[in-house]
A and B are shown apart, each in its own frame.
Chain A
Amino acid sequence: MRPSRTPLFLARRSYRVRRLRDFARLLPVLGTFLVLLPVLWAPAATSAPDTAPDGIYLFVVWAGLVVAAALMARGLGSEANKTETETGAGAAAEGED
């Protein structure tokens, strides 16, 4: 029953920060999907050995995640110390009961 202090629409800057947080939440999901993808390739139809390509694929995904997280961390690092009252959505999702 918090009084609704949060405005319905946001300025461009706050809007971007919100979307950045959404991305921060999404990134591990995306990463999980990508690293689990080799499971679907497992029963290799071809007889050609695929260990090296698989490994290269995994390292590329890994590097991609690192780069994405690094770009994200720059935007979120200053946010990390703040409380999440102004985000509303996250706090509300976590704070039921």
Chain B
Amino acid sequence: MPFNILVLACLAYVIFLFLVAFLVERRAAQGEAGWLRSPLVYTLSLSIYCSAWTFYGAVGYAARSGLEFLTIYLGPSLVFVGWWWVLRKLVRIGRQQHVTSIADLISSRYGKSNLLGVIVTVIAVVAATPYIALQLQSVTLSFGVFATAASEGLTPPDKDSTAIWVAAGLALFTILFGTRKLDANEQHTGIVTAIAVEAVVKLVAFLAVGVFVVWGLAGGPGDIVARINASPIADWQLQPGRWVGLMALSAAAVICLPRMFQVLVVENADERHLATASWAFPLYLMGMSLFVVPIAVVGLALLPAGSNPDLFVLTLPLSQGRGGLAMLAFLGGFSSATSMVIVAAIALATMVSNHVVMPLWLHLRPAHAVSGDVRRIVLRARRLSIAGVLALGYAYFAVSGGSAALAAIGLISFVGVAQILPPMLGGLFWRGSTRVGATLGLCLGFAVWAYTLFLPSFGPDAVIPAQVLAEGPLGIGWLRPQALFGVTGMDPLLHAMFWSLVLNTAAFTFGSILTFPSPMERMQGAAFVNVFEADQTGPRGWAQGRAEPEALLVMAQRILGDEAAQSLFEGAARGQGKVGYLPDATPKFVEDLERRLAGSVGAATSHAMISQLVGRARVSVEDLMAVANETAQIKEYSTRLEAQQDELTRTARALREANEKLTQLSVQKDAFLSQISHELRTPMTSIRAFSEILMEADLPPEMVVNYARIIHDEAIRLTRLLDDLLDLSVLENGSVQLNLGLASLPEMIDKALRTAGNTRPERVFAVQRDSAAEAIFLHTDADRLTQVFINLISNARKYCGAERPELRIAVRQKGGRVTVDFIDNGAGIAKEAQALVFEKFARLTDETRAGGAGLGLAICREVMANLGGTITYLPGQGGAAFRVTVPLRLEKAA
């Protein structure tokens, strides 16, 4: 295989990936992403878990330790199969909070603490550096394999310069597609699709090599089983500690690795994709590990002793003269390495720029948060971070010399990132976990990991002196890095994992139990742990109206870009029912804006930037109350709702009643008007007619006198009618002046009888009275009450149709009230008319029109109402009967 063809193939492959990423980005920009964001692409992008370590290293691992390599894939498979437990919640939180990285998640969960973000970033960078070095090393080694076979064409460069070229090329690619824009959700459609393509390439390549080995070199599955049992691999013994420990470790790593978090949570376009990935990703892992043992067995048998088992995937086809297959395998390995490095670099760069560079920059030049071009700063920070991460990886590669076995480096890195697991799981499921606990746990775990595993991995005397390794610092035996607290029998990796995670979890748990979280932490904790509850509103961190919407818009434009920011603000303004681009800076809006900005620069930075505009009012009084007493608040809320509903029902009922009354009143008023015009018109007509007759000159004098009297009588009737109307309106208004005083009831009745005697004086009435019962003094308006009595007696005189009319006046005193009944022996009032008699202009018969206009009883009713009493018709007394009830003492109305 000529080396220059290899370089050419590599370049062509990279250009192809460029094209894929470029086209996809363009389609996504046109809003036609469609299938590009399908569950398939999501699952394939997850395959960056299988880095070059898997592609090349798994075979080497199997050659050295048999089936143990399976633990690295079984752990993640179990995590995905059990997605309902952790992954679902993680993805939901990631989407809801616009999480940009794993450091952002931890920082956001623990009260948007930037310190935690920095710690997680440091851990991630330190743990990822050897891993990136490992990828560079594998690419370099695979180049080296072909280089040894090269006989013509270009002379392959030495391995250091190969690594430099690879690192620089990857940095360029990552910068070009990873930091082209500052996306609201920090998603990179183009990169993700390119990675999905690479995932297909590496799977196909590995399966092709596997099929070639099983059916080409060996005689099929049966033969392979026989060969396995005959090979040195069969001597492998399962070590229970490592079997369990490595499985747990890889399960933790698949969640905690920054690059896995990036594709799993940050790049997730739809939560439903996770359901597909829950079985498809384990299937992919199974495909990647199916042929590992066969390749290792056949490689060990066919290749000369001493050849590197880490490169069997390449060397086996090459040794059989299968150049094309070897090229495919090489591209598969190349894909594994590049995809991992690209995503890891993006993830780490996001963390470094959001949690280290931006806060530092904001701290140094706070004024620029609002006025400066934040977008450019963030992008530049990311690009520099990507270059920095790759440079670190290269430096590690150059320093370590790329000698150690691949698998060892990978596992060391896994233990490092696994330190993030306790605060992460605690944050997802335990509301009691606090920032202090998380900080203590992370720092302690990281320190123990570095002391027991990372630093010793450079070899004795590289960082830690050999003497310390053997005897402990200052000769303290129980502090020996690889035998902490006298635990000597353990495998160094398990030893480090055991102690770092145990101490980490213990510090985290006890730190959380002993400290008290800040309000912001408690609110974020509730938002994270209860993310699946529908009425989750999230914390309201901002006080009302402190920020100028215009300043917020200016800042949002700096970060999101003009168009995105304006459409965000316009949408919010429309949501508030306003026109234009400036919504009110309600707490909800500011909160939403903060989350959007967090999608670009991370929760802590976005929080800090907004707090520069809004002020330091981080937690409102309502929130504090809510934190202090959620239960009481819920209770109060529901009682308030109930009260509100009752109130509404009452109001509706009152309104309905008022409406009915108004309708009735309107009908009454119309009837009243027509009645009154009729009543006024009748006397007017006769007055007009007779005065017209009077105008005729030749009338006999007696007729003139007669007619003049008629006119006079009618005028009197009109005056009385008008007087009555006036009286009625005064009484109805309640503006009547009462002349209160002590009055004797018999005297009033006497007077009433005397006055009423004028009505139809020709009739003789027998009046029955009970003078003993009548002997009562009332405190009331005597004139008004007498008026009522006169009216009732006159009515009796007018309408009682009996032969020998009788009127009985019965007085009774009960409680503080006096009732006076006027009962005659006439025909009485028909039942249906009883309700009408007190209405205005209600006249039952037309026979005796001399008496007023039918206003008498209406006036009586109003008078009695003014006197604090009542007048009612009393049925069943053998004639017309009215009962007047008055209070014994009428107090002056207030």
Which residues on the B side are within 8 Å of A70 (C-beta)? 279-280
Whether A39 touches B228, Cβ cut-off 8 Å, given contacts A28-B79, A80-B88, is no
| Pair B631/A1 contact, Cβ less than 8 Å | yes
Q: A58, A68, A81: which contacts B271 (Cβ < 8 A)? A: A81
Main SS class of interface, A: helix
In A1-47, the 8 Å CB interface with B consists of 1-3, 21, 24-25, 27-29, 31-32, 35-36, 38-39, 41-42, 44
| Pair B278/A69 contact, Cβ less than 8 Å | yes
Which residues on the A side are within 8 Å of B485 (C-beta)? none
A21 and B85 CA atoms in complex are apart in Å by 10
| Pair B634/A1 contact, Cβ less than 8 Å | yes
In B70-126, the 8 Å CB interface with A consists of 70, 74, 77-85, 88
A71 and B186 CA atoms in complex are apart in Å by 32
| Pair A80/B275 contact, Cβ less than 8 Å | yes
Q: B79, B279, B429: which contacts A66 (Cβ < 8 A)? A: B279
Which residues on the B side are within 8 Å of A44 (C-beta)? 237
Please count the residue pairs between chain A and chain B whose beta carbons lie under 8 angstroms apart in the complex.
143
Closest A-chain residue to B284, C-beta based? A66
| Pair B234/A49 contact, Cβ less than 8 Å | yes
Tell me, rounded to whole Å, the shortest Cβ–Cβ distance linking B28 to chain A.
22
In B798-857, the 8 Å CB interface with A consists of none
Which residues on the A side are within 8 Å of B286 (C-beta)? 59, 62-63, 66
A56 and B286 CA atoms in complex are apart in Å by 12
A40 and B631 CA atoms in complex are apart in Å by 49
Whether A27 touches B229, Cβ cut-off 8 Å, given contacts A76-B275, A80-B88, A90-B532, is no
Closest A-chain residue to B247, C-beta based? A35
Which residues on the A side are within 8 Å of B271 (C-beta)? 80-81
Closest B-chain residue to A93, C-beta based? B429
- Residue among B67, B78, B225, B275 having the largest count of chain A Cβ atoms under 10 Å: B275
Closest B-chain residue to A31, C-beta based? B78
Which residues on the A side are within 8 Å of B228 (C-beta)? 49, 51-52, 55
| Pair A42/B238 contact, Cβ less than 8 Å | yes
| Pair B84/A25 contact, Cβ less than 8 Å | yes
Which residues on the B side are within 8 Å of A56 (C-beta)? 225
A-contact 0/1 string along B251-284, CB 8 Å cutoff: 0000000000000000000111011101110110
Whether B346 is near chain A, meaning CB under 8 Å from some CB there, is no
A29 and B79 CA atoms in complex are apart in Å by 10
| Pair B229/A31 contact, Cβ less than 8 Å | no
A14 and B85 CA atoms in complex are apart in Å by 20
| Pair A73/B67 contact, Cβ less than 8 Å | no
| Pair B247/A28 contact, Cβ less than 8 Å | no
| Pair A73/B278 contact, Cβ less than 8 Å | yes
| Pair A91/B532 contact, Cβ less than 8 Å | yes
| Pair B276/A73 contact, Cβ less than 8 Å | yes
Whether B565 is near chain A, meaning CB under 8 Å from some CB there, is no
| Pair A55/B81 contact, Cβ less than 8 Å | no
Whether B243 is near chain A, meaning CB under 8 Å from some CB there, is yes
A76 and B236 CA atoms in complex are apart in Å by 40
Chain A: interface residue total (CB-CB under 8 A): 52
Whether B530 is near chain A, meaning CB under 8 Å from some CB there, is yes
Whether A27 touches B638, Cβ cut-off 8 Å, given contacts A35-B247, A63-B286, is no
Tell me, rounded to whole Å, the shortest Cβ–Cβ distance linking A74 to chain B.
8
Which residues on the B side are within 8 Å of A67 (C-beta)? 279
| Pair B78/A35 contact, Cβ less than 8 Å | yes
Whether B432 is near chain A, meaning CB under 8 Å from some CB there, is yes
Which residues on the A side are within 8 Å of B293 (C-beta)? 51, 55
Whether B635 is near chain A, meaning CB under 8 Å from some CB there, is yes
Which residues on the B side are within 8 Å of A39 (C-beta)? 238, 240, 243-244
In B147-171, the 8 Å CB interface with A consists of none
Whether B601 is near chain A, meaning CB under 8 Å from some CB there, is no
| Pair B275/A73 contact, Cβ less than 8 Å | yes
Whether B534 is near chain A, meaning CB under 8 Å from some CB there, is yes
| Pair A81/B272 contact, Cβ less than 8 Å | yes
Which residues on the A side are within 8 Å of B234 (C-beta)? 49, 51-52
Which residues on the B side are within 8 Å of A29 (C-beta)? 82
Q: B66, B431, B533: which contacts A91 (Cβ < 8 A)? A: B533
- Residue among B235, B278, B293, B429 having the largest count of chain A Cβ atoms under 10 Å: B278
A51 and B296 CA atoms in complex are apart in Å by 13
A96 and B530 CA atoms in complex are apart in Å by 9
Q: B85, B238, B634, B638: which contacts A38 (Cβ < 8 A)? A: B238
Which residues on the A side are within 8 Å of B236 (C-beta)? 51
Closest A-chain residue to B536, C-beta based? A83
A41 and B239 CA atoms in complex are apart in Å by 11
Which residues on the B side are within 8 Å of A68 (C-beta)? 81
Closest B-chain residue to A62, C-beta based? B286
| Pair A95/B85 contact, Cβ less than 8 Å | no
Whether A69 touches B533, Cβ cut-off 8 Å, given contacts A51-B233, A58-B74, A63-B286, is no
| Pair A62/B534 contact, Cβ less than 8 Å | no
Whether B529 is near chain A, meaning CB under 8 Å from some CB there, is yes
| Pair A52/B225 contact, Cβ less than 8 Å | yes
A44 and B234 CA atoms in complex are apart in Å by 12
Which residues on the A side are within 8 Å of B726 (C-beta)? none
| Pair B66/A28 contact, Cβ less than 8 Å | no
| Pair B638/A3 contact, Cβ less than 8 Å | yes
| Pair A55/B67 contact, Cβ less than 8 Å | yes
| Pair B67/A51 contact, Cβ less than 8 Å | yes
Q: A41, A42, A65, A95: which contacts B77 (Cβ < 8 A)? A: A65
Whether B290 is near chain A, meaning CB under 8 Å from some CB there, is yes
| Pair A77/B429 contact, Cβ less than 8 Å | no
Q: A21, A54, A80, A84: which contacts B67 (Cβ < 8 A)? A: A54
| 14 A-B contacts (beta carbon < 8 Å) | A28-B81, A35-B78, A36-B243, A36-B244, A63-B286, A65-B81, A67-B279, A72-B278, A76-B84, A77-B272, A77-B276, A91-B530, A94-B530, A95-B533
List of 4 A-B pairs having minimum Cβ-Cβ separation, nearest first: A28-B82, A77-B275, A69-B279, A49-B234
Interface residues in chain A, defined as those with a beta carbon under 8 Å from any beta carbon in chain B: 1-3, 21, 24-25, 27-29, 31-32, 35-36, 38-39, 41-42, 44, 48-49, 51-52, 54-56, 58-59, 62-63, 65-70, 72-74, 76-78, 80-81, 83-85, 90-91, 94-97
Known: A52-B225, A72-B278. 4 other contacts (CB 8 A): A24-B84, A36-B244, A51-B228, A81-B270
